[in-house]
Structures are given as C-alpha cells and as structure tokens.
A and B are shown apart, each in its own frame.
Chain A
Amino acid sequence: RKEVEQDPGPFNVPEGATVAFNCTYSNSASQSFFWYRQDCRKEPKLLMSVYSSGNEDGRFTAQLNRASQYISLLIRDSKLSDSATYLCVAYNNNDMRFGAGTRLTVKP
C-alpha cells in the first residue's frame, strides 16, 4: 500500500467550477502536510500547508482530518491557469512522502 494515496484523475472541469481533491496517508506519525502544484515538465511548487484547523488562501481551502488520516483541497471558481497536477504530501521527521498526484484540467 502506498504511503500517500490520491485519486489520479484526470478531473476535467469548466471554468468557474468548484473541485475537490482527496488524499489519504498511512503513517499516523506524519506531522506536517502540504499541497504542491506541478505543471507539466516543471518542478513542484508549494501551494499551501495544511493545518488541523483547516486553512484558506484565496480560492483554495485545505483541510486535515487526523483521525481519518485524510487531507483535502478545495478549489473554488476554477481558472484555466489552475490546470496542473496537485500533489499531496505527508511529512514526518525528514521523511517527505508524495502522492502520485491528481491531474486537473480546467476548460473554457
């Protein structure tokens, strides 16, 4: 079983749609969680950290449920520029594990 699992998608949504990605992690000792965004043939870039209380950054909302070992990312009012692969990350003591990524395509 993979340490971090994500639905690979692809998610194809129209502009303006709201889309949610889910992620589960198996290591209950994981301490920090992040969402990264990776564009085609580019390096991953940090999108946002994920806190237990949930956090929001503009159109993006991240949530963490430690009891269920579950992380989510909600994107509201999708833009064409949101098209990318979104990577869920669980971090524990110098050990950072990436999910395989969820591919999002936002269409006009």
Chain B
Amino acid sequence: GAVVSQHPSWVICKSGTSVKIECRSLDFQATTMFWYRQFPKQSLMLMATSNEGSKATYEQGVEKDKFLINHASLTLSTLTVTSAHPEDSSFYICSARDTGDIQYFGAGTRLSVL
C-alpha cells in the first residue's frame, strides 16, 4: 500500500519553542493531507485539512496561528506547533489521501513539551 512518512517520531522540547513536523507521501501525489491529534485513550481528532498550493482548512477550535500548516508540494505537508506549551503535548498524526479516497497515515509524532 501507499506509504506516508512522518518525521520526527518523537520530540521533547521546552515550553515556548516551536516544533515542525513533516509529512511526506512517498509513492503517490497527495493534493490533500490531513493533520490529527490524539490524546491518550481518545479518538483521532481532525485538526486541519491541508490543500496543496492553498491555505489549510482548520476545524473549529483549532488555532491557525498556533498550528501553522504548509503544503508546498504534492508530496509534503508540514505542521508547525508555535510557542508550544505542556497542554500541546499529544500524538500528532498526518495522513494523505490517494485517488481512491483511502487515507494512509504517517507513523505519528509524539510531542512532549516540558
């Protein structure tokens, strides 16, 4: 199946710093990628839909100035958590949709903000 690479897999940072997470579709072009957040024992929560060449669409309650999304090419989307705080600690997962409407997920990034 299609492969989506997400990097880094684990980040520990100090409060106030910014963290950038990359999501790449390795063997297909993805005009649309998705960013999710998952807290322990909870479901995936869609944060935003990332569209290549245009602004991301954010879900209600997700601050676009805090979670910056850039989808500069058909194979790469980035999520930057700006001025991270302990409450931002979570598991962030990206996914990319192929032409058959199936979403393939990256391995996730575990963010711990101290």
A contact set with B: CB distance below 8 Å:
31-32, 34, 41-46, 49, 87, 91, 94, 96-101
The secondary-structure label for the interface of chain A is strand
Enumerate 17 A-B pairs (CB-CB under 8 Å) in ascending A order. A31-B101, A32-B101, A41-B91, A41-B110, A42-B108, A43-B6, A43-B105, A43-B106, A43-B107, A49-B102, A91-B101, A94-B32, A94-B49, A94-B97, A98-B46, A100-B42, A101-B43
Known: A42-B107, A46-B1, A46-B104. A98 touches B91 (CB 8 A): no
Which of chain B's residues has its CB closest to A2's CB? Answer: B43
Could you tell me which residues of chain B, from 29 to 74, have a CB within 8 Å of some CB in chain A?
Answer: 32, 34, 42-44, 46, 49
Q: Distance (Å) between the CB of A6 and the closest chain B CB?
A: 9
The secondary-structure label for the interface of chain B is strand
A-B contact count (CB 8 A): 40
Give 19 A-B pairs besides A34-B102, A41-B110, A46-B102 with Cβ atoms closer than 8 angstroms: A31-B101, A32-B101, A42-B107, A43-B105, A43-B106, A43-B107, A46-B103, A46-B104, A49-B102, A87-B44, A91-B101, A94-B49, A96-B34, A96-B46, A96-B103, A97-B46, A98-B43, A100-B43, A101-B43
Q: Distance (Å) between the CB of A91 and the closest chain B CB?
A: 6
Interface residues on B, range: 20 to 34
Q: Distance (Å) between the CB of B19 and the closest chain A CB?
A: 18
6 pairs of A and B residues whose beta carbons are closest in the complex: A100-B43, A43-B105, A98-B44, A43-B108, A32-B101, A43-B107
